Structure 1
Amino acid sequence: MNEIVFGTDGWRATLDTFTEERVRIVAQAAAEYFREQDATTVGVGYDARETSPRFARALTEVLAGNGLDVVVSERDCPTPVLAWTLKDRQLDGGLVVTASHNPPEYNGVKFLSPDGSPAGEAITDRLESLLAEPDLRPEAEHGTVSEENLVPEYIRHALAFTEADITGLSVAYDAMHGSGRDVTDALLAEAGADVQRLRCELDPTFGGGSPEPTADKLDTLVERVTEGDAELGFANDGDADRLAVVTPGRGFLDPNLLYAALYEYLLESDGGPAVRTVSTTFLVDKIAAAHGEETVEVPVGFKWVAQGMQDAGALCGGEESGGFGITRHLRNKDGVLIALVVAAAHTERPLDDRVDAITAAHGDIYQDRISVDCPDDRKAAVLDELDGSLPETILGVSVDRVDTKDGFKIFLADGSWLLVRPSGTEPKLRVYAEADSESHVEELLDAGRDIVEPLV
C-alpha cells in the first residue's frame, strides 16, 4: 500500500507497481469514501491501454461488491466524457483508469468529484488513509453494473454548449491512438468540418511511443497543415483531456499562446478571471488586465486549477501543458470540447491572426521546459537543499524575488523567470523558463539544470 500515492493527477505508476491487486485496494478505499458521502451511483471509465479494460473491471467489481451501482463506459473513452457524464447525470463521483500521456508501460487511476472536477487534496488524502484489502458484501447486496456508450450524449451537449458552426473548415486530427478517436474527430465533423484523420486506429502501444501531443511527436500533423492540406490541426493525449493545435503560420502552437488566444476569444462574449498554473505564461495576465479582469495563479495540477476556477468564479482555467477548461462546461480540462471552441474561434478570425495581434499588443513570449531525472525519494531533499541556497544572480541578472507556491519560481530583474518543481507523475524534476527570446530561454534552462543536477 505504500506504493499507492496520489500525485498531481491521481495515482500513476509503471505496471510492475500498478497491479490488479493494488487497483482493487484503491477501489476499496474509493468505496469506503463513497459510503462516507452517502453515495449510491458512480461512474467508471478507462483509456486505450491494453491493461485498462481489465483494471476497470477490477474497479467495477469492488465498487459494485460494496453495494454501489456502477455506470461503466462500454469502450475506452476520454476522461472529460466521463467527467461531464458525472456532472450531467448527477452521479456521486467516478474513477478513470488512465496514465494519460505516459508511455504504455504505465497506468493509473484518476478520481473525479461529482461535478466532474479532479479530486482535491483533501479527498486524495482521505483515499490514501482508507487504503485496504477489498471487503465485499454478500452477493445479494451487490450494486448493479450497466455498460453504456457515453459519447453520443456528450457530443450533443458539446454542440449545444458551443453553438459552433464550422461548416467547410478543413481540419486534420491526430488521436495518437488514444481515446479521442471517434470522439474529437466525430464532434468536429458533426459541427460541419471536413476532417482528415491521423492515428485514429486502436493501438494499445500508441505506435511504440507515448501519447503526448508535443511538437516532436506531431510531424505528420504539422506537415498536413503547414503545406496547406488542412486549415487547422488538432491532437489529443492518451485520455483526450489535453489539446495541441497546429496552425498554417506557426506550425505547432505553443500551448501558452493557445491559452492566451482562447481566453481572449472567450472574453468576446463573456467575462471573468482566468486561472493559470505557476508554469503558465504571464501573457494571460496581460490579456486579463487589458479587459479589466484578474488572473489567479495556482500550483501545477488541474486539481488546483479546478479549485481556483471555483473560488474565483473564473471564466476558464489552463496550464502550459495543453490542459484547458471552461467553468460553465466543466471544472476540468477537456481536449475534446476545447478543440471545437478553438475551431469556432478560427472560423471567425484565423488563429494565426489572433495570436499575431496578441503578441503585437503585449510582446512576444517564449517558454520551454526540461526534465532532470530524480528518484521520488530524493525530490524533497533536493528542494530542501535549494531552499536558502539559490543564487542571487542568474546569467548575470539579479533575482528580484522567489515564489514557493510550487517548488521555486525565480523572478529575474529583466522580466524573465525560472521555475524548478517536482513532477507529480514521474521520477523527475521539471525546470521551466520564460523569456523574450528562444535563446534566452535555452540559456535559462541550462542554468536551471546546472543548479539542480548537482543536488540530485
Structure 2
Amino acid sequence: MKISPLAGKPAPLALLVDVPKLVSAYYTNTPDPEFPEQRVAFGTSGHRGCSFEHSFNEAHVLAITQAICAYRSKQGINGPLFLGVDTHALSTPACASALEVLAANGVDVMLAQGDEYTPTPAVSHAILKYNRNRNRNRNRSSGLADGIVVTPSHNPPQDGGFKYNPPNGGAADTDVTGWIETAANQHLRSALKDVKRMPLERALRLATTHRYDYLSTYVNELEQVIDMAAIRSAGIHLGVDPLGGAGVHYWQRIGERYRLNLSVVSEEVDPAFRFMTLDWDGRIRMDPSSSYAMQRLLGMRDRYDIAFACDTDHDRHGIVTKSAGLLPANHYLAVAIDYLFQQRPLWPQAAKVGKTVVSSQIIDRVCARLQRQLYEVPAGFKWFADGLNDGSLGFGGEESAGASFLRHDGAVWTSDKDGLAPALLAAEITARSGRDPGEIYRKLAAGLGDPVSTRVEASATPAQKKMLAALSPQQIQCSDLAGEKIQDILSQAPGNRAAIGGVKVVTASGWFAARPSGTEDIYKIYAESFLGEDHLQRIVQEAQAIVDAALAGSPQSPSGVST
C-alpha cells in the first residue's frame, strides 16, 4: 500500500467532514437505483455508504428497514428488535429513520436507556440474553429477538452503515442479507411506495418502543467472560482510548464496577473525529489495529502496564504493550488463543478455534500444539456465529482485529465481534502471567516461528474481479511457490467449505490469498512467510504472476501492484 505523507499526523482542517452538509445530504439526496453504486449492497457487515455520494441516504435506510420487517414476518420473528447506534454523524439520523419504519410496522423496539451510544457487542449480548432458554414452538423463530446496529464500523466520518443481526446474535449470513438487499432495492425502484412510516415523535411515544439498559446489562456480566478479580488484585494500570466510539461511557463504568486501576484517555465524542491522526492513506479512520490511527495512545504507552483501544462500534480491538507497542492483530490472536484454551477448563473439550483464511498460520501452529481443531472460514465474522452459540467454537477471530470467545463456563458471550472483551483479556493475561501479550508473543514465536506478512493491491477490471472470485484450483497452473512445493490450493474454506471468493495457495512456510475488492477496481493479495522478508517478497511477486496467468483470458491483464 502506498503510504500517505500525512499518515500518523493530525487531520488538517481541510480534511474534516462538514457535518451539517453531510446530514443535510442524508435527507435531500435521493439515490437512483439504476446506478449500481447507489443501490443497497450488503458487504460482509451490512450496507455502507456516504450521503454525499447517494449511497447512504434516508431512502436506503427506509427501504432496508421495511425489508427487514418483511423478513421478520416471513421468518416468524416476532420478539423485540434491539436497535443500537454508534457515534458517526449519519448514525443518529439513520437510527431515527429506522425507528419510524419499525414503529409503523408494529415492531417492539429496544432503544438504549438515556439515548446512550450502543456498541455492536452490547446488541449481540442483548439478543442472546433475551433468547436464552426461550421455548421454541413449531416455528423455531417465534418469540425470538433480533437486532439492528447503525454503524459503518471503523470507516471514515462521512460514512454511514446499517447491519442486521438475526436471532443467533451475529451479523446476518449471505442468504439473509441477499433477501433483504433484493427487497430493499425493490422499494427504491418503487419510490418507497410500500414503505410504512410514522413521525418520529409518535414512534417514540408508542407502547412498542421500549428502553433497555445496554450499558449496565453488558458491564455487569463481564466477569463471566473475563477474570476481573485477577486484574483488580494485580493492580496493573490500564489505559483506554475509546476513539470517540460507542463504548465511550462503558469504560469508566467498567473501571468503577470492578474497581480497576483504569484511566480513560478521552471521552470526547466528535462526529468529525478531529482528534484522530490520519490512517495510512491520509484519511481519518478509527482503526485500532493501525499504528497511524493509534498515535495518541502509542504516545502514552509508557504510562500504562497495558493499554487498548476500540473502533467506533467497539467490535475491534487494538492492544498496546510496553514491550512491543501496537501488537499486530494476528500476533495478539495467537496469544489470546494460546492463553484461553489453557486457562478455561470448563470449555467443551471439543471446542474448536475459528479463524479466517487470511489470518496468520501461527494460529494453525498454536492449535496443533494445543491439540485443538482449527475451523477456517472465509472473511467475515458471521461464519462464527452458530459455532459460538452452540459451543462448538471456543474462539472466533479475524485478522482485522475482531474476536469473541466463550464465557468461563463455556456458554456463549457474544456471537458478533466484541472489542471490549479481547481488550480486557489482554489485562487478564498481563495480570495472571506477569508479562504483557507482546512478551508472550515473542516466546510463542521463538518456539513456533515468527511470520512476516503483508497485503498488496493490484488493479483489475470488474470482469477480472468476477473471474478471480470464481477461480478454481485447477486454473492455477504451477506446482511451486517461492522455492517450496505447493501443498494446497483452495477456493473453498477448509472449515465450512464456503467459497472464499478467490484462491489461497499454501506451502510449508508461507501462503498467499488473492481476493477481489468489493468496493474498488482492485484485487488484494494477502501473503505470509515464516522464512523472512525476502521470502515474503518472492511470494508476493510470484502470487501476482500466478493470478495474472489464471486471468490471462480476460480482456486486460491486471497490473500495477502497490505495497
TM-score between the two structures when normalised by the length of structure 2:
0.74
Distance 1:371 1:181 in 2: 34
Q: How many pairs align?
A: 454
Does residue 206 of structure 1 match 2:309? no
2:340 to 252, 261, 266: 266
How do residues 377-416 of structure 1 correspond to structure 2 at under 5 angstroms?
Answer: 379-383=465-469, 390=476, 392=478, 393-405=480-492, 406-416=500-510
1:276 to 344, 349, 355: 355
Does residue 240 of structure 1 match 2:328? no
Q: Is the 8 A contact 1:409 1:417 kept in 2?
A: no
Q: Select between 141-150 and 292-301 the one with higher mean Cα deviation.
A: 141-150
C-alpha distance 311-151 of structure 1, shift in aligned 2 (>3 A): closer
1:23 to 37, 61, 66: 61
2:421 to 337, 340, 343: 337
User: How far apart are 1:404 and its partner, in Å?
Assistant: 0.7
State the AA in 1 paired with 2:429. A
Does residue 444 of structure 1 match 2:542? no
Distance 1:423 1:189 in 2: 43
Distance 1:384 1:61 in 2: 41
User: How far apart are 1:161 and its partner, in Å?
Assistant: 3.4
1:102 to 133, 152, 155: 155
Q: Select between 286-295 and 297-306 the one with higher mean Cα deviation.
A: 286-295
User: How far apart are 1:426 and its partner, in Å?
Assistant: 5.9
Q: Select between 136-145 and 64-73 the one with higher mean Cα deviation.
A: 136-145
Distance 2:270 2:541 in 1: 37
1:70-102 deviations in Å (ceiling 9; x for gaps): 112223221111111121123521111111011
C-alpha distance 143-125 of structure 1, shift in aligned 2 (>3 A): farther
Does residue 111 of structure 1 match 2:175? no
Q: Is the 8 A contact 1:369 1:432 kept in 2?
A: yes
C-alpha distance 428-106 of structure 1, shift in aligned 2 (>3 A): farther
State the AA in 2 paired with 1:193. L
RMSD: 2.8
Distance 2:405 2:454 in 1: 25
Distance 1:322 1:156 in 2: 24
Q: Is the 8 A contact 2:240 2:263 kept in 1?
A: yes
Does residue 357 of structure 1 match 2:454? no
Q: Select between 363-372 and 18-27 the one with higher mean Cα deviation.
A: 363-372
How do residues 311-330 of structure 1 correspond to structure 2 at under 5 angstroms?
Answer: 313-327=392-406, 328-330=412-414
Does residue 81 of structure 1 match 2:168? no
Distance 1:219 1:277 in 2: 28
Does residue 43 of structure 1 match 2:82? yes
Distance 2:151 2:522 in 1: 20
1:23-65 deviations in Å (ceiling 9; x for gaps): 1000000001111233142111111011111100111110111
Does residue 130 of structure 1 match 2:209? no
Structure 1: gaps spanning 5 or more residues: none
Aligned to 2:26: none
1:191-232 deviations in Å (ceiling 9; x for gaps): 33323333431011222611111122212322322xx21111
1:399-452 deviations in Å (ceiling 9; x for gaps): 443111214444354520011113446665332111122443345345545656
Distance 1:314 1:333 in 2: 14
1:338-395 deviations in Å (ceiling 9; x for gaps): 2222211210112234223322221212223234465767631444579766462444
Aligned to 2:305: 231
State the AA in 2 paired with 1:206. F
Distance 2:183 2:59 in 1: 15
C-alpha distance 149-301 of structure 1, shift in aligned 2 (>3 A): same
Structure 2: gaps spanning 5 or more residues: 1-32, 132-143, 277-283, 407-411, 493-499, 549-555
Distance 1:316 1:438 in 2: 30
Q: Is the partner of 2:243 in helix, strand or coil?
A: coil
Does residue 72 of structure 1 match 2:107? no
Does residue 369 of structure 1 match 2:472? no
C-alpha distance 64-329 of structure 1, shift in aligned 2 (>3 A): same
Q: Is the partner of 1:404 in helix, strand or coil?
A: strand
C-alpha distance 149-426 of structure 1, shift in aligned 2 (>3 A): farther
State the AA in 2 paired with 1:69. D
Q: Select between 183-192 and 36-45 the one with higher mean Cα deviation.
A: 183-192
1:92 to 141, 145, 165: 145
Distance 2:341 2:516 in 1: 33
C-alpha distance 24-143 of structure 1, shift in aligned 2 (>3 A): farther
State the AA in 2 paired with 1:339. A
Distance 2:103 2:209 in 1: 7
User: How far apart are 1:189 and its partner, in Å?
Assistant: 5.2
User: How far apart are 1:285 and its partner, in Å?
Assistant: 2.0
Distance 1:294 1:239 in 2: 31
Distance 2:533 2:255 in 1: 34
C-alpha distance 198-380 of structure 1, shift in aligned 2 (>3 A): farther
Does residue 297 of structure 1 match 2:376? yes
Q: Select between 424-433 and 89-98 the one with higher mean Cα deviation.
A: 424-433
Q: Is the 8 A contact 2:359 2:398 kept in 1?
A: yes
Aligned to 1:161: 225
Q: Select between 48-57 and 350-359 the one with higher mean Cα deviation.
A: 350-359
Q: Select between 347-356 and 237-246 the one with higher mean Cα deviation.
A: 347-356
State the AA in 2 paired with 1:332. D
User: How far apart are 1:320 and its partner, in Å?
Assistant: 0.8
Distance 1:428 1:373 in 2: 4
Distance 1:386 1:177 in 2: 43
1:249 to 316, 320, 323: 323
Q: Is the partner of 1:455 in helix, strand or coil?
A: coil
TM-score between the two structures when normalised by the length of structure 1:
0.90
1:309-358 deviations in Å (ceiling 9; x for gaps): 45770111101110111142122210012222221121011223422332
Distance 2:387 2:534 in 1: 33
Q: Select between 443-452 and 170-179 the one with higher mean Cα deviation.
A: 443-452
Q: Is the 8 A contact 1:34 1:92 kept in 2?
A: no
1:267-321 deviations in Å (ceiling 9; x for gaps): 1223421011001122222222222210011000001132454577011110111
User: How far apart are 1:240 and its partner, in Å?
Assistant: 0.6
State the AA in 1 paired with 2:69. A
Aligned to 1:152: 216
Q: Select between 234-243 and 375-384 the one with higher mean Cα deviation.
A: 375-384
Distance 1:195 1:212 in 2: 22
Does residue 419 of structure 1 match 2:483? no
Q: Is the 8 A contact 2:165 2:171 kept in 1?
A: yes
Distance 1:196 1:20 in 2: 38
Distance 2:222 2:391 in 1: 24
Q: Is the 8 A contact 2:314 2:420 kept in 1?
A: yes
